[in-house]
Structure 1
Amino acid sequence: MNAPSPFSDMLFEKREEQAILTDLAYANGWMLDVDGCLVKTTKAGGAGGHAIGGAAKLLDWLRRNERKFVICTNASQRTVATYASHLRSIGLDIADHEMMTAATAAGETIARAHPGGRILVVGDEGMLEAIRSAGLEVTPPDASNADAVVVGAADTYSSANLNAACLSIADHGAPLYTSVSSPWFHGGVKRSIAVSSAIAQAIASVTGVQPIVCGKPSRELGESLRLRLSGGNSQIVIVGDAAPAEMRLARGMGAMGVLVLSGATQADELSGLPVDQQPHWVVQDIDELADQLQRVIP
Protein backbone atom coordinates (compact mmCIF):
# COMPACT_ATOMS: atom_id res chain seq x y z
CA MET A 1 0.00 0.00 0.00
CA ASN A 2 1.29 3.44 -0.91
CA ALA A 3 1.95 5.86 1.93
CA PRO A 4 -0.55 8.72 2.24
CA SER A 5 0.52 11.73 0.26
CA PRO A 6 1.20 14.85 2.35
CA PHE A 7 -0.08 16.84 -0.64
CA SER A 8 -3.39 14.94 -0.50
CA ASP A 9 -3.67 15.65 3.22
CA MET A 10 -3.10 19.32 2.52
CA LEU A 11 -5.85 19.34 -0.11
CA PHE A 12 -8.24 17.66 2.34
CA GLU A 13 -7.44 20.29 4.98
CA LYS A 14 -8.07 23.07 2.45
CA ARG A 15 -11.44 21.57 1.49
CA GLU A 16 -12.37 21.24 5.16
CA GLU A 17 -11.37 24.84 5.86
CA GLN A 18 -13.39 26.06 2.90
CA ALA A 19 -16.45 24.12 4.13
CA ILE A 20 -16.20 25.74 7.57
CA LEU A 21 -15.80 29.21 6.08
CA THR A 22 -18.80 28.63 3.82
CA ASP A 23 -20.89 27.56 6.82
CA LEU A 24 -19.86 30.75 8.60
CA ALA A 25 -20.71 32.96 5.64
CA TYR A 26 -24.20 31.48 5.29
CA ALA A 27 -25.03 31.40 9.01
CA ASN A 28 -28.06 33.60 9.67
CA GLY A 29 -27.49 34.59 13.32
CA TRP A 30 -24.39 36.26 14.78
CA MET A 31 -23.25 37.35 18.24
CA LEU A 32 -20.27 39.67 18.37
CA ASP A 33 -18.31 40.40 21.53
CA VAL A 34 -17.23 43.96 22.26
CA ASP A 35 -14.06 44.23 24.36
CA GLY A 36 -11.00 42.77 22.69
CA CYS A 37 -13.07 41.84 19.63
CA LEU A 38 -14.72 44.98 18.19
CA VAL A 39 -13.00 47.45 20.53
CA LYS A 40 -9.60 47.81 22.19
CA THR A 41 -10.19 49.16 25.68
CA THR A 42 -9.25 48.94 29.34
CA LYS A 43 -12.87 49.32 30.49
CA ALA A 44 -15.86 47.00 30.06
CA GLY A 45 -18.42 47.64 27.35
CA GLY A 46 -15.99 49.42 25.04
CA ALA A 47 -15.88 52.50 27.26
CA GLY A 48 -12.95 54.78 26.47
CA GLY A 49 -11.66 52.49 23.73
CA HIS A 50 -11.26 52.62 19.96
CA ALA A 51 -12.71 50.40 17.26
CA ILE A 52 -10.49 47.61 16.00
CA GLY A 53 -9.79 47.74 12.26
CA GLY A 54 -12.39 45.78 10.32
CA ALA A 55 -15.14 46.09 12.94
CA ALA A 56 -17.21 48.53 10.88
CA LYS A 57 -16.52 46.44 7.76
CA LEU A 58 -17.90 43.28 9.39
CA LEU A 59 -21.02 45.11 10.60
CA ASP A 60 -21.57 46.43 7.08
CA TRP A 61 -21.21 42.89 5.65
CA LEU A 62 -23.77 41.55 8.13
CA ARG A 63 -26.28 44.27 7.27
CA ARG A 64 -25.70 44.01 3.53
CA ASN A 65 -26.34 40.27 3.61
CA GLU A 66 -29.35 40.60 5.95
CA ARG A 67 -27.84 38.62 8.82
CA LYS A 68 -29.37 39.03 12.25
CA PHE A 69 -26.82 39.98 14.87
CA VAL A 70 -26.49 40.92 18.52
CA ILE A 71 -23.61 42.89 20.00
CA CYS A 72 -23.09 41.32 23.41
CA THR A 73 -20.86 42.44 26.25
CA ASN A 74 -20.40 41.01 29.72
CA ALA A 75 -20.46 44.58 31.03
CA SER A 76 -23.35 45.46 33.33
CA GLN A 77 -22.63 48.82 34.95
CA ARG A 78 -24.13 51.11 32.31
CA THR A 79 -27.36 50.92 30.34
CA VAL A 80 -27.66 49.35 26.90
CA ALA A 81 -28.29 52.82 25.43
CA THR A 82 -25.10 54.17 27.01
CA TYR A 83 -22.91 51.37 25.65
CA ALA A 84 -24.50 51.54 22.19
CA SER A 85 -24.12 55.32 22.07
CA HIS A 86 -20.41 55.04 22.83
CA LEU A 87 -19.91 52.43 20.11
CA ARG A 88 -21.63 54.73 17.61
CA SER A 89 -19.36 57.58 18.71
CA ILE A 90 -16.28 55.57 17.70
CA GLY A 91 -17.66 54.66 14.29
CA LEU A 92 -19.64 51.45 14.83
CA ASP A 93 -23.20 51.52 13.46
CA ILE A 94 -25.04 49.80 16.31
CA ALA A 95 -28.63 50.54 17.30
CA ASP A 96 -29.72 50.30 20.93
CA HIS A 97 -31.93 47.27 20.20
CA GLU A 98 -28.93 45.43 18.70
CA MET A 99 -27.01 45.69 21.97
CA MET A 100 -27.12 43.20 24.82
CA THR A 101 -25.28 43.18 28.16
CA ALA A 102 -24.82 40.73 31.00
CA ALA A 103 -27.39 42.86 32.85
CA THR A 104 -29.88 42.37 30.01
CA ALA A 105 -29.33 38.63 30.24
CA ALA A 106 -29.78 38.77 34.02
CA GLY A 107 -33.10 40.58 33.70
CA GLU A 108 -34.42 38.09 31.16
CA THR A 109 -33.17 35.10 33.17
CA ILE A 110 -34.65 36.29 36.46
CA ALA A 111 -37.95 37.22 34.82
CA ARG A 112 -38.28 33.65 33.53
CA ALA A 113 -37.58 32.22 37.00
CA HIS A 114 -39.39 34.83 39.15
CA PRO A 115 -42.07 36.55 37.05
CA GLY A 116 -43.21 39.74 38.78
CA GLY A 117 -40.67 39.17 41.56
CA ARG A 118 -39.13 41.67 43.97
CA ILE A 119 -35.43 41.89 43.15
CA LEU A 120 -32.62 43.36 45.24
CA VAL A 121 -29.98 44.84 42.94
CA VAL A 122 -26.38 45.04 44.11
CA GLY A 123 -25.00 47.15 41.28
CA ASP A 124 -25.45 50.28 39.19
CA GLU A 125 -27.82 51.84 36.65
CA GLY A 126 -27.25 49.15 34.02
CA MET A 127 -28.56 46.36 36.22
CA LEU A 128 -31.34 48.50 37.67
CA GLU A 129 -32.68 49.34 34.21
CA ALA A 130 -32.40 45.74 33.01
CA ILE A 131 -34.40 44.42 35.97
CA ARG A 132 -37.14 47.03 35.51
CA SER A 133 -37.25 46.49 31.73
CA ALA A 134 -37.85 42.79 32.35
CA GLY A 135 -41.05 43.65 34.25
CA LEU A 136 -39.58 43.03 37.69
CA GLU A 137 -39.83 45.17 40.81
CA VAL A 138 -36.64 46.63 42.25
CA THR A 139 -36.68 46.62 46.05
CA PRO A 140 -35.14 49.40 48.15
CA PRO A 141 -31.35 48.83 48.40
CA ASP A 142 -31.59 47.94 52.10
CA ALA A 143 -34.59 45.59 51.85
CA SER A 144 -33.69 42.21 53.34
CA ASN A 145 -36.66 40.16 52.12
CA ALA A 146 -36.23 40.14 48.32
CA ASP A 147 -37.35 37.25 46.12
CA ALA A 148 -33.94 37.22 44.43
CA VAL A 149 -30.62 39.05 44.61
CA VAL A 150 -28.60 40.05 41.54
CA VAL A 151 -25.07 41.45 41.41
CA GLY A 152 -23.76 43.72 38.66
CA ALA A 153 -20.75 45.98 38.26
CA ALA A 154 -20.50 49.31 40.10
CA ASP A 155 -17.84 51.73 41.26
CA THR A 156 -19.00 51.49 44.88
CA TYR A 157 -21.16 49.17 47.00
CA SER A 158 -22.74 50.16 50.29
CA SER A 159 -22.50 48.03 53.42
CA ALA A 160 -26.29 48.36 53.91
CA ASN A 161 -26.92 46.98 50.43
CA LEU A 162 -24.51 44.07 50.91
CA ASN A 163 -26.03 43.29 54.30
CA ALA A 164 -29.54 43.26 52.83
CA ALA A 165 -28.38 40.94 50.06
CA CYS A 166 -26.87 38.48 52.51
CA LEU A 167 -29.94 38.54 54.76
CA SER A 168 -32.33 38.03 51.83
CA ILE A 169 -30.33 34.96 50.83
CA ALA A 170 -29.51 33.53 54.25
CA ASP A 171 -32.81 34.24 56.05
CA HIS A 172 -35.37 34.26 53.24
CA GLY A 173 -33.93 31.74 50.77
CA ALA A 174 -33.50 34.20 47.90
CA PRO A 175 -31.33 32.85 45.07
CA LEU A 176 -28.19 34.75 44.13
CA TYR A 177 -27.60 35.82 40.50
CA THR A 178 -24.56 37.55 39.04
CA SER A 179 -23.58 39.07 35.72
CA VAL A 180 -20.29 37.19 35.34
CA SER A 181 -18.12 34.56 37.02
CA SER A 182 -14.70 35.17 35.47
CA PRO A 183 -12.30 36.93 37.87
CA TRP A 184 -10.68 39.14 35.23
CA PHE A 185 -11.81 41.53 32.50
CA HIS A 186 -9.62 41.84 29.38
CA GLY A 187 -10.33 44.41 26.67
CA GLY A 188 -7.31 43.71 24.49
CA VAL A 189 -4.99 46.14 26.29
CA LYS A 190 -4.53 44.79 29.80
CA ARG A 191 -6.61 42.94 32.37
CA SER A 192 -8.45 44.31 35.39
CA ILE A 193 -10.64 42.81 38.08
CA ALA A 194 -14.19 41.78 37.16
CA VAL A 195 -15.72 43.53 40.14
CA SER A 196 -19.21 41.97 39.95
CA SER A 197 -17.65 38.51 40.09
CA ALA A 198 -15.61 39.48 43.16
CA ILE A 199 -18.64 40.93 44.97
CA ALA A 200 -20.81 37.91 44.13
CA GLN A 201 -18.15 35.59 45.51
CA ALA A 202 -17.93 37.69 48.68
CA ILE A 203 -21.71 37.28 49.19
CA ALA A 204 -21.39 33.57 48.44
CA SER A 205 -18.65 33.20 51.06
CA VAL A 206 -20.95 34.73 53.70
CA THR A 207 -24.17 32.92 52.77
CA GLY A 208 -22.84 29.61 51.42
CA VAL A 209 -25.02 30.07 48.29
CA GLN A 210 -23.23 30.00 44.94
CA PRO A 211 -24.32 32.54 42.31
CA ILE A 212 -26.18 31.68 39.11
CA VAL A 213 -24.24 33.27 36.26
CA CYS A 214 -26.29 35.15 33.65
CA GLY A 215 -23.60 36.50 31.31
CA LYS A 216 -21.24 34.66 28.98
CA PRO A 217 -20.75 31.67 28.87
CA SER A 218 -23.93 30.70 30.73
CA ARG A 219 -26.74 28.55 29.38
CA GLU A 220 -29.09 31.36 30.44
CA LEU A 221 -27.43 33.78 28.04
CA GLY A 222 -27.49 31.12 25.33
CA GLU A 223 -31.27 30.84 25.72
CA SER A 224 -31.67 34.61 25.41
CA LEU A 225 -29.51 34.66 22.29
CA ARG A 226 -31.51 31.88 20.67
CA LEU A 227 -34.72 33.85 21.24
CA ARG A 228 -33.21 37.00 19.74
CA LEU A 229 -31.65 35.28 16.74
CA SER A 230 -34.73 33.58 15.29
CA GLY A 231 -35.24 30.63 17.60
CA GLY A 232 -33.74 27.19 17.92
CA ASN A 233 -33.30 26.32 14.23
CA SER A 234 -30.90 29.12 13.32
CA GLN A 235 -27.22 28.48 12.62
CA ILE A 236 -25.56 30.88 15.04
CA VAL A 237 -21.98 32.14 15.04
CA ILE A 238 -20.35 33.40 18.25
CA VAL A 239 -17.36 35.72 17.72
CA GLY A 240 -15.11 36.73 20.59
CA ASP A 241 -11.60 36.97 22.00
CA ALA A 242 -11.97 34.93 25.22
CA ALA A 243 -12.08 31.15 24.84
CA PRO A 244 -13.46 30.58 28.38
CA ALA A 245 -16.34 32.98 27.62
CA GLU A 246 -17.32 33.08 23.95
CA MET A 247 -15.96 29.73 22.75
CA ARG A 248 -17.42 27.92 25.74
CA LEU A 249 -20.73 29.69 25.07
CA ALA A 250 -20.63 28.57 21.43
CA ARG A 251 -19.91 24.95 22.32
CA GLY A 252 -22.60 24.94 24.99
CA MET A 253 -25.35 26.19 22.69
CA GLY A 254 -24.35 24.25 19.58
CA ALA A 255 -23.16 27.34 17.72
CA MET A 256 -20.01 27.91 15.66
CA GLY A 257 -17.25 29.67 17.59
CA VAL A 258 -14.86 32.12 15.93
CA LEU A 259 -11.91 33.14 18.12
CA VAL A 260 -10.15 36.43 17.38
CA LEU A 261 -6.60 36.68 18.72
CA SER A 262 -6.88 40.40 19.49
CA GLY A 263 -7.76 40.17 23.17
CA ALA A 264 -7.76 37.75 26.07
CA THR A 265 -6.77 34.45 24.40
CA GLN A 266 -3.42 34.31 22.59
CA ALA A 267 -2.16 32.00 19.84
CA ASP A 268 0.22 30.09 22.14
CA GLU A 269 -2.74 29.08 24.33
CA LEU A 270 -4.72 27.37 21.57
CA SER A 271 -3.15 23.91 21.91
CA GLY A 272 -3.94 23.80 25.62
CA LEU A 273 -7.60 24.79 25.44
CA PRO A 274 -10.04 22.23 26.88
CA VAL A 275 -12.54 20.67 24.50
CA ASP A 276 -15.43 22.87 25.63
CA GLN A 277 -13.41 26.03 24.82
CA GLN A 278 -12.01 25.08 21.43
CA PRO A 279 -12.96 27.37 18.52
CA HIS A 280 -14.24 26.17 15.17
CA TRP A 281 -12.34 28.96 13.40
CA VAL A 282 -9.43 31.21 14.40
CA VAL A 283 -8.45 34.59 12.94
CA GLN A 284 -5.97 37.23 13.97
CA ASP A 285 -8.66 39.89 14.29
CA ILE A 286 -12.09 40.97 13.10
CA ASP A 287 -10.59 42.52 9.95
CA GLU A 288 -9.28 39.15 8.77
CA LEU A 289 -12.69 37.57 9.40
CA ALA A 290 -14.47 40.30 7.41
CA ASP A 291 -12.10 39.79 4.46
CA GLN A 292 -12.63 36.01 4.52
CA LEU A 293 -16.40 36.34 4.56
CA GLN A 294 -16.35 38.85 1.70
CA ARG A 295 -14.43 36.35 -0.43
CA VAL A 296 -17.31 33.87 -0.02
CA ILE A 297 -20.18 36.37 -0.29
CA PRO A 298 -19.25 39.92 -1.40
Structure 2
Amino acid sequence: MIKAYLIDLDGTLYHGRHRIDGADRLIQTLKEQGVPFLFVTNNSSRTPQGVADHLNGMGIEADASEVCTSAVAAAEYVAAQSPGARVACIGETGLIQAIEEAGLILTEDQPEVVIQGIDREFSYQKLTKALRWINGGAQYILTNPDLQLPGDDGLMPGAGTIGAAIEAATGVQPTVIGKPSSIIMKSAIRRLNKKAEEVAVIGDNMRTDIAAGVAAGCETLLVLTGVTTHENMDGHIQAVKARPDHVFEDLHTLTAWLAKQADQASKKE
Protein backbone atom coordinates (compact mmCIF):
# COMPACT_ATOMS: atom_id res chain seq x y z
CA MET A 1 0.00 0.00 0.00
CA ILE A 2 1.30 3.44 -0.95
CA LYS A 3 1.70 5.64 2.13
CA ALA A 4 3.70 8.56 0.71
CA TYR A 5 4.75 10.17 -2.55
CA LEU A 6 7.88 11.70 -4.07
CA ILE A 7 6.84 14.23 -6.70
CA ASP A 8 8.94 15.62 -9.54
CA LEU A 9 8.50 19.29 -10.46
CA ASP A 10 9.53 20.55 -13.92
CA GLY A 11 7.55 18.66 -16.54
CA THR A 12 5.28 17.14 -13.91
CA LEU A 13 3.75 20.10 -12.07
CA TYR A 14 4.93 22.96 -14.28
CA HIS A 15 6.78 23.93 -17.43
CA GLY A 16 9.17 26.73 -16.49
CA ARG A 17 6.89 29.43 -15.10
CA HIS A 18 3.64 27.85 -16.26
CA ARG A 19 1.59 25.50 -14.08
CA ILE A 20 0.47 22.27 -15.72
CA ASP A 21 -3.29 21.89 -15.64
CA GLY A 22 -4.39 20.05 -12.51
CA ALA A 23 -1.13 20.46 -10.55
CA ASP A 24 -2.74 22.63 -7.87
CA ARG A 25 -5.61 20.16 -7.41
CA LEU A 26 -3.20 17.20 -7.18
CA ILE A 27 -1.30 18.74 -4.27
CA GLN A 28 -4.47 20.00 -2.63
CA THR A 29 -5.90 16.45 -2.77
CA LEU A 30 -2.84 14.94 -1.09
CA LYS A 31 -2.98 17.57 1.64
CA GLU A 32 -6.70 16.99 2.20
CA GLN A 33 -6.07 13.25 2.47
CA GLY A 34 -3.22 13.82 4.92
CA VAL A 35 -0.88 11.79 2.72
CA PRO A 36 2.78 12.77 3.24
CA PHE A 37 4.84 13.76 0.23
CA LEU A 38 7.98 15.57 -0.81
CA PHE A 39 8.79 17.56 -3.92
CA VAL A 40 12.03 16.06 -5.30
CA THR A 41 13.99 18.10 -7.81
CA ASN A 42 17.34 17.85 -9.54
CA ASN A 43 17.51 21.65 -9.50
CA SER A 44 20.53 22.63 -7.40
CA SER A 45 20.39 26.38 -7.97
CA ARG A 46 17.32 27.15 -5.86
CA THR A 47 17.08 26.78 -2.09
CA PRO A 48 14.12 24.77 -0.73
CA GLN A 49 12.46 28.09 0.14
CA GLY A 50 13.10 29.32 -3.38
CA VAL A 51 11.46 26.20 -4.81
CA ALA A 52 8.47 26.63 -2.49
CA ASP A 53 8.16 30.30 -3.49
CA HIS A 54 8.21 29.31 -7.17
CA LEU A 55 5.43 26.76 -6.61
CA ASN A 56 3.30 29.10 -4.50
CA GLY A 57 3.69 31.78 -7.15
CA MET A 58 1.95 29.46 -9.59
CA GLY A 59 -0.83 28.59 -7.17
CA ILE A 60 0.61 25.26 -6.05
CA GLU A 61 0.62 25.16 -2.25
CA ALA A 62 4.10 24.33 -0.96
CA ASP A 63 6.36 24.76 2.05
CA ALA A 64 10.16 24.66 2.13
CA SER A 65 9.99 21.65 4.48
CA GLU A 66 8.33 19.70 1.65
CA VAL A 67 11.20 20.23 -0.78
CA CYS A 68 14.17 17.93 -1.39
CA THR A 69 16.74 19.34 -3.84
CA SER A 70 19.80 17.66 -5.29
CA ALA A 71 21.90 20.34 -3.56
CA VAL A 72 20.55 19.48 -0.11
CA ALA A 73 20.88 15.74 -0.79
CA ALA A 74 24.48 16.21 -1.99
CA ALA A 75 25.48 18.24 1.06
CA GLU A 76 23.82 15.76 3.42
CA TYR A 77 25.54 12.86 1.63
CA VAL A 78 28.97 14.43 2.13
CA ALA A 79 28.22 15.44 5.73
CA ALA A 80 27.14 11.87 6.57
CA GLN A 81 30.40 10.51 5.15
CA SER A 82 32.74 13.23 6.41
CA PRO A 83 31.23 15.60 9.00
CA GLY A 84 32.75 19.07 8.77
CA ALA A 85 34.62 18.26 5.55
CA ARG A 86 36.40 20.99 3.60
CA VAL A 87 34.35 21.50 0.43
CA ALA A 88 34.91 23.46 -2.76
CA CYS A 89 31.67 24.47 -4.45
CA ILE A 90 31.05 24.93 -8.16
CA GLY A 91 27.45 26.05 -8.11
CA GLU A 92 24.89 28.67 -7.22
CA THR A 93 22.97 29.92 -4.18
CA GLY A 94 21.01 26.74 -3.49
CA LEU A 95 24.14 24.61 -3.35
CA ILE A 96 26.19 27.11 -1.34
CA GLN A 97 23.44 27.39 1.29
CA ALA A 98 23.00 23.61 1.46
CA ILE A 99 26.73 23.09 2.06
CA GLU A 100 26.79 25.67 4.84
CA GLU A 101 23.65 24.31 6.52
CA ALA A 102 25.11 20.79 6.47
CA GLY A 103 28.00 21.99 8.63
CA LEU A 104 30.59 21.66 5.86
CA ILE A 105 33.42 24.16 5.43
CA LEU A 106 33.49 26.10 2.17
CA THR A 107 37.03 26.58 0.91
CA GLU A 108 39.15 26.76 -2.21
CA ASP A 109 42.29 25.81 -0.30
CA GLN A 110 42.99 22.06 -0.58
CA PRO A 111 39.36 20.89 -0.36
CA GLU A 112 38.60 17.28 0.52
CA VAL A 113 35.48 17.29 -1.65
CA VAL A 114 34.33 19.14 -4.76
CA ILE A 115 30.55 19.46 -5.06
CA GLN A 116 29.41 20.65 -8.45
CA GLY A 117 25.95 21.67 -9.66
CA ILE A 118 24.62 24.08 -12.23
CA ASP A 119 26.82 27.17 -12.44
CA ARG A 120 25.82 29.75 -15.01
CA GLU A 121 29.10 31.58 -14.40
CA PHE A 122 31.24 28.50 -15.07
CA SER A 123 34.52 29.40 -16.75
CA TYR A 124 37.85 28.04 -17.92
CA GLN A 125 39.31 29.29 -14.64
CA LYS A 126 36.79 27.25 -12.62
CA LEU A 127 37.45 24.21 -14.80
CA THR A 128 41.17 24.59 -14.08
CA LYS A 129 40.51 24.79 -10.33
CA ALA A 130 38.31 21.72 -10.44
CA LEU A 131 40.96 19.79 -12.38
CA ARG A 132 43.64 20.63 -9.80
CA TRP A 133 41.43 19.95 -6.77
CA ILE A 134 40.23 16.58 -8.02
CA ASN A 135 43.60 15.48 -9.35
CA GLY A 136 44.95 16.52 -5.96
CA GLY A 137 42.75 13.91 -4.31
CA ALA A 138 39.43 15.65 -3.67
CA GLN A 139 36.30 13.52 -3.98
CA TYR A 140 34.07 14.64 -6.85
CA ILE A 141 30.31 14.90 -6.19
CA LEU A 142 27.85 15.89 -8.93
CA THR A 143 24.45 17.16 -7.79
CA ASN A 144 22.65 15.96 -10.93
CA PRO A 145 23.54 14.67 -14.39
CA ASP A 146 21.04 16.71 -16.44
CA LEU A 147 22.72 17.71 -19.70
CA GLN A 148 20.09 20.28 -20.63
CA LEU A 149 17.78 22.70 -18.84
CA PRO A 150 14.61 24.34 -20.18
CA GLY A 151 14.94 28.12 -20.35
CA ASP A 152 12.57 30.93 -21.25
CA ASP A 153 14.19 31.21 -24.69
CA GLY A 154 15.00 27.51 -25.24
CA LEU A 155 17.34 24.83 -23.91
CA MET A 156 20.47 25.63 -21.90
CA PRO A 157 23.39 23.42 -20.75
CA GLY A 158 22.76 21.71 -17.41
CA ALA A 159 24.93 20.60 -14.51
CA GLY A 160 25.72 17.36 -16.33
CA THR A 161 27.25 19.26 -19.23
CA ILE A 162 29.62 21.06 -16.85
CA GLY A 163 30.26 17.71 -15.19
CA ALA A 164 31.17 16.18 -18.55
CA ALA A 165 33.86 18.85 -19.00
CA ILE A 166 35.27 18.23 -15.52
CA GLU A 167 35.20 14.45 -16.01
CA ALA A 168 36.97 14.82 -19.36
CA ALA A 169 39.63 17.04 -17.79
CA THR A 170 40.25 14.86 -14.74
CA GLY A 171 39.42 11.35 -15.92
CA VAL A 172 37.41 10.96 -12.70
CA GLN A 173 33.77 9.91 -12.71
CA PRO A 174 31.71 11.77 -10.09
CA THR A 175 29.37 10.30 -7.52
CA VAL A 176 25.97 11.37 -8.84
CA ILE A 177 23.35 12.38 -6.27
CA GLY A 178 20.31 13.46 -8.30
CA LYS A 179 17.92 11.43 -10.41
CA PRO A 180 18.33 8.83 -11.91
CA SER A 181 20.60 8.00 -8.95
CA SER A 182 18.83 6.36 -6.03
CA ILE A 183 20.81 8.51 -3.56
CA ILE A 184 18.43 11.49 -3.67
CA MET A 185 15.42 9.16 -3.51
CA LYS A 186 16.74 7.31 -0.47
CA SER A 187 17.44 10.65 1.22
CA ALA A 188 13.84 11.70 0.62
CA ILE A 189 12.48 8.33 1.77
CA ARG A 190 14.39 8.69 5.05
CA ARG A 191 12.86 12.13 5.56
CA LEU A 192 9.41 10.62 5.09
CA ASN A 193 10.29 7.88 7.59
CA LYS A 194 8.84 5.24 5.28
CA LYS A 195 10.03 2.03 3.65
CA ALA A 196 10.81 2.26 -0.08
CA GLU A 197 7.99 -0.15 -0.93
CA GLU A 198 5.54 2.21 0.82
CA VAL A 199 6.52 5.15 -1.39
CA ALA A 200 5.51 5.96 -4.97
CA VAL A 201 7.39 8.28 -7.32
CA ILE A 202 5.40 10.62 -9.58
CA GLY A 203 7.25 12.00 -12.60
CA ASP A 204 7.20 12.76 -16.32
CA ASN A 205 10.64 11.48 -17.29
CA MET A 206 11.37 7.77 -17.69
CA ARG A 207 15.13 8.33 -17.74
CA THR A 208 15.29 10.31 -14.48
CA ASP A 209 12.17 10.14 -12.30
CA ILE A 210 11.01 6.62 -13.11
CA ALA A 211 14.53 5.17 -13.34
CA ALA A 212 15.37 6.67 -9.94
CA GLY A 213 12.16 5.31 -8.43
CA VAL A 214 12.90 1.83 -9.74
CA ALA A 215 16.48 2.02 -8.46
CA ALA A 216 15.23 2.98 -5.00
CA GLY A 217 12.64 0.20 -4.89
CA CYS A 218 9.58 2.46 -5.09
CA GLU A 219 6.35 2.14 -7.05
CA THR A 220 6.39 4.43 -10.09
CA LEU A 221 3.65 6.62 -11.57
CA LEU A 222 4.43 8.15 -14.98
CA VAL A 223 2.43 11.15 -16.15
CA LEU A 224 2.54 12.08 -19.84
CA THR A 225 2.85 15.80 -19.15
CA GLY A 226 6.49 16.35 -20.08
CA VAL A 227 9.49 14.50 -21.45
CA THR A 228 8.01 11.02 -21.92
CA THR A 229 5.16 10.70 -24.43
CA HIS A 230 3.23 7.89 -26.09
CA GLU A 231 5.51 8.28 -29.10
CA ASN A 232 8.87 7.99 -27.31
CA MET A 233 7.90 5.80 -24.35
CA ASP A 234 9.11 2.52 -25.83
CA GLY A 235 12.52 4.03 -26.53
CA HIS A 236 12.79 5.32 -22.98
CA ILE A 237 11.71 1.96 -21.56
CA GLN A 238 14.39 0.19 -23.58
CA ALA A 239 16.99 2.74 -22.47
CA VAL A 240 16.32 2.39 -18.73
CA LYS A 241 15.33 -1.31 -18.91
CA ALA A 242 12.30 -0.69 -16.70
CA ARG A 243 8.61 0.05 -17.02
CA PRO A 244 6.48 2.38 -14.90
CA ASP A 245 3.94 0.64 -12.69
CA HIS A 246 1.19 3.03 -13.82
CA VAL A 247 0.83 5.52 -16.70
CA PHE A 248 -1.52 8.53 -16.64
CA GLU A 249 -2.50 10.81 -19.50
CA ASP A 250 -2.62 13.91 -17.29
CA LEU A 251 -2.73 15.13 -13.70
CA HIS A 252 -6.53 14.96 -13.53
CA THR A 253 -6.58 11.20 -14.16
CA LEU A 254 -3.73 10.77 -11.68
CA THR A 255 -5.61 12.75 -9.01
CA ALA A 256 -8.72 10.65 -9.55
CA TRP A 257 -6.63 7.49 -9.14
CA LEU A 258 -5.07 8.82 -5.94
CA ALA A 259 -8.51 9.59 -4.52
CA LYS A 260 -9.61 6.04 -5.31
CA GLN A 261 -6.49 4.64 -3.62
CA ALA A 262 -7.19 6.69 -0.49
CA ASP A 263 -10.80 5.52 -0.43
CA GLN A 264 -9.76 1.87 -0.67
CA ALA A 265 -7.21 2.35 2.09
CA SER A 266 -9.77 3.92 4.42
CA LYS A 267 -12.17 0.99 3.85
CA LYS A 268 -9.44 -1.50 4.76
CA GLU A 269 -8.84 0.37 8.00
Of the three residues 138, 157, 161, the one matched with 1:174 is 138
Task: Show structure 1 runs of 4+ deviating over 6 A.
Answer: none
Tell me how far 1:277 sits from its aligned partner.
3.5
Aligned to 1:290: 255
* Residue 259 of structure 2 is aligned to residue 259 of structure 1: no
Deviation at 1:291, TM superposition (A): 1.8
Deviations 1:121-167 (A, max 9, x none): 0011111011111111111xxx2511000111122124443322211
Structure-2 residue corresponding to 1:18: none
Match of 2:103 in 1: 135
2:122 corresponds to which of 127, 150, 157: 157
Q: Which residue of 2 aligns with 1:214?
A: 177
1:118 lines up with 2:86 in the alignment: yes
8 Å CA contact 2:38–2:66 kept in 1: the answer is: yes
Q: Quick one: which of 50, 56, 77 aligns to 1:82?
A: 50
Structure 2 length-normalised TM: 0.90
Alignment partners' CA distance in 2, 1:259 and 1:154: 29
| CA shift in 2, pair 1:75/1:233, >3 Å | closer
Match runs of 1:1-298 below 5 Å: 23=1, 27-41=2-16, 49-139=17-107, 143-171=108-136, 173-185=137-149, 192-232=155-195, 235-272=198-235, 273-274=237-238, 276-297=241-262
What is the number of residues matched between the two proteins?
261
Distance 1:191 1:295, change over 3 A: farther
Determine the C-alpha separation between the residues in 1 that align with 2:242 and 2:192: 22
What one-letter code is carried by the residue in structure 2 that aligns with 1:29?
Answer: A
Deviations 1:199-233 (A, max 9, x none): 11111111110111111121211220221121436
Determine the C-alpha separation between the residues in 2 that align with 1:246 and 1:266.
14
- 1:36 aligned counterpart, secondary structure: coil
Task: Give the partner amino acid of 1:263.
Answer: G
Shift, 1:190, TM fit:
9.2
- The superposition leaves residues 51-77 of structure 1 with CA deviations (integer Å, 9 ceiling, x where unpaired) of 112111111121122111001111111
Greater gyration radius: 1
| 8 A Cα contact 1:29 1:234, kept in partner | no
Name the SS of the counterpart of 1:135 in structure 2: coil
**Matched letter for residue 237 of structure 1:** A
Q: Quote the Cα distance in structure 1 between the aligned partners of 2:174 and 2:157.
A: 15
Tell me the secondary structure at the aligned position of residue 297 of structure 1: helix
Cα distance in structure 2, aligned partners of 1:184 and 1:129: 23
Q: Matches of 1:134 and 1:94 in 2, distance apart?
A: 23
Q: Which runs of 5+ in 2 are unaligned?
A: 264-269
TM-score, normalised to structure 1's length? 0.82
CA distance in 2, matches of 1:239, 1:190: 27
Deviation at 1:297, TM superposition (A): 3.5
Check the 8 A contact 1:186/1:263 in 2, yes or no: no
Q: Go from structure 1 to structure 2 and tell me whether the alpha carbon gap of 1:248 and 1:125 turns closer, same or farther (over 3 Å shift).
A: same
Question: Matched residues in 1 for 2:177 and 2:251: separation?
Answer: 26
For residues 216 and 193 of structure 1, the distance between their equivalents in structure 2, rounded to whole angstroms, comes to: 18
**8 Å contact 1:244–1:277 — kept in the other structure?**
no
RMSD: 2.0
Residues 196 and 217 in structure 2, CA contact (< 8 A), matched pair in contact too: no
Q: Residues of 2 paired with 1:194 and 1:288: CA distance?
A: 33
Structure 2 CA distance for aligned equivalents of residues 156 and 242 of structure 1 = 27
> Would you say the 8 A contact 1:214–1:221 is kept in 2?
yes
